Structure 1
Amino acid sequence: MPERLLVVEDSKAIAKVIEQLGKALGFEVTVAYTLADVEAILQGNKKFFAATIDYNLPDAPDGEAISCVLSHGIQSVVMTGRMDEETRQKILAQPVIDYIPKENSQAFMYLKRILHGQLLNRGSGILVVDDSVSARNHVVELLKRRNYSVFVASDGQKALEVIANHPEIKMVITDLEMPVMDGITLTNEIRKKHSRDRIAIIGISGANNGVHSARFIKNGADDFLRKPFCPEEFYCRVTQNIENLHNIEQIQRAANTDYLTDLPNRRAFIQSAQRKLPEMIEKNIPYCMAMIDIDFFKKINDTYGHEAGDNVLKVVALYMRKHLSGALLARLGGEEFSILMPGLDEDQLYGRLDDLRRELSVSQIPYEGQQITMSVSIGVVFNSNASLAAQMNEADQALYYAKENGRNQVSIAGQNHD
Structure 2
Amino acid sequence: MSKKLLVVEDSKPIASIIEAIARSLNFEVTRASSLQAVKNIIDESNDFFAATVDYALPDAPDGEAIPYVLSKGIPSIVLTGMMDDDTRQKILNQPVIDYIPKENSQAFLYLKRILEYQLTNSMYGILVVEDSLSARNHVVELLKRRNFTIYTATQGDEALGVLAKNPDIKLVITDLEMPVMDGITLSNEIRKKYAREQLAIIGISGAVNGIHSARFIKNGADDFLRKPFCPEEFYCRITQNIDNLNNIEKIQHAANTDYLTELPNRRYFFTQAEPSVKNHIENQTTYCVAILDIDFFKKVNDIHGHDAGDHILKVFALYLRKHLGNGLLSRLGGEEFGVLLSGANKKELYSKLDQFRERVATSKVSYADKEINYSVSIGVVFNSKKTLTQQMIEADAALYFAKENGRNRIAVADKIS
**TM-based fold match above 0.5:** yes
In 2: Cα distance, 1:367 partner to 1:413 partner: 35
Displacement of 1:46 after TM fit? 6.5
2:144 and 2:255 map into 1 onto residues whose CA distance is 33
Partner of 1:52: helix, strand, or coil?
A: strand
Larger mean CA deviation between 263-272 and 85-94 belongs to 85-94
> Amino acid of the residue matched to residue 242 of structure 1?
I
- C-alpha distance in 2 between matches for 1:231 and 1:355: 59
Q: CA deviation at 1:141?
A: 1.2
How far residue 45 of structure 1 moved from its aligned partner, in angstroms, is: 4.0
Residue in structure 2 matched with residue 321 of structure 1 by the alignment? 321
Please say which of residues 96-105 and 9-18 is displaced more in the overlay: 9-18
Taking a change above 3 Å as real, the CA distance of residues 235 and 341 of structure 1, as seen in their structure-2 partners, is same
User: What one-letter code is carried by the residue in structure 1 that aligns with 2:135?
Assistant: A
Q: What CA deviation, in whole Å up to 9, does each residue of 1:332-378 have, x standing for no partner?
A: 11111100111111111111111111111111112223221111111
Query: Residues of 1 paired with 2:251 and 2:3: CA distance?
Result: 28
**Residue 381 of structure 1: aligned partner:** 381
1:301 aligned to 2:293? no
User: What's the secondary structure of 1:217's corresponding residue?
Assistant: helix
Task: Give the structure-1-normalised TM-score.
Answer: 0.97
Percent of aligned pairs with the same amino acid: 65
Q: Which residue of 1 aligns with 2:312?
A: 312
State the alpha-carbon separation in 2 of the partners of residues 267 and 350 from structure 1.
26
- Residues 40 and 364 of structure 1: CA distance in aligned 2, closer, same or farther (over 3 Å): farther
Distance in 2, Cα, partners of 1:160 & 1:359: 49
1:68 Cα deviation from its structure 2 partner: 2.8
Match of 2:179 in 1: 179
Please give the secondary structure, in 2, of the residue aligned with 1:414: helix
Indicate the residue corresponding to 1:236 in structure 2: 236
**Higher mean C-alpha deviation, range 364-373 or range 184-193:** 364-373
Partner of 1:120: helix, strand, or coil? helix
SS in 1 for 2:414: coil
* 1:271 pairs with 2:248: no
The 5 Å alignment of 1:12-411 reads 12-45=12-45, 47-411=47-411
Q: Deviations for 1:200-224, whole angstroms, at most 9, x for unmatched residues?
A: 1000111111111111111111111
Q: How many residues align?
A: 417
State the one-letter code of the partner of 2:31: V
Q: Secondary structure at the match of 2:59?
A: coil
Q: Secondary structure at the match of 1:340?
A: strand
Residues 243-265 of structure 1 show CA distances to partners (whole Å, capped at 9, x for unaligned) of: 11001101110111112211101
CA distance in 1, matches of 2:147, 2:137: 15
- Superimposed CA distance per residue, residues 41-72 of structure 1 (whole angstroms, 9 cap, x where no aligned partner): 32344732221111111122111222232233
The amino acid that maps onto 1:83 is M
- After superposition, the Cα gap between the structure-2 partners of 1:251 and 1:406, relative to the gap in structure 1 and judged at 3 Å, is same
1:268 aligned partner, one-letter code:
Y
Q: Please say which of residues 70-79 and 219-228 is displaced more in the overlay.
A: 70-79
Which 5+ residue runs of structure 1 have no aligned equivalent? none
- 1: distance between equivalents of 2:100 and 2:4? 20
Taking the aligned partners of 1:109 and 1:98, their CA distance within structure 2 comes to 14
TM-score under structure 2 normalisation? 0.97
Q: Give the CA RMSD over aligned residues.
A: 1.4
The Cα offsets for residues 144-168 of structure 1, whole Å up to 9 and x where unpaired, read as 1111111111110011111111111
1:10 and 1:296 mapped to 2: Cα distance? Answer: 66
CA distance in 1, matches of 2:409, 2:364: 18
Could you tell me which runs of 5 or more consecutive residues in structure 2 were left unpaired when the two chains were aligned: none
1-structure distance, mates of 2:218, 2:50: 39
The AA in structure 1 aligned to 2:295 is D
Q: Distance in 1 between matches of 2:353 and 2:347?
A: 10
Amino acid of the structure 1 residue aligned with 2:101: P
C-alpha distance in 2, partners of 1:235/1:355? 53
The amino acid of 2:72's aligned partner reads H
Distance in 1, Cα, partners of 2:190 & 2:28: 41
Offset of 1:281 from its aligned partner?
Answer: 1.1
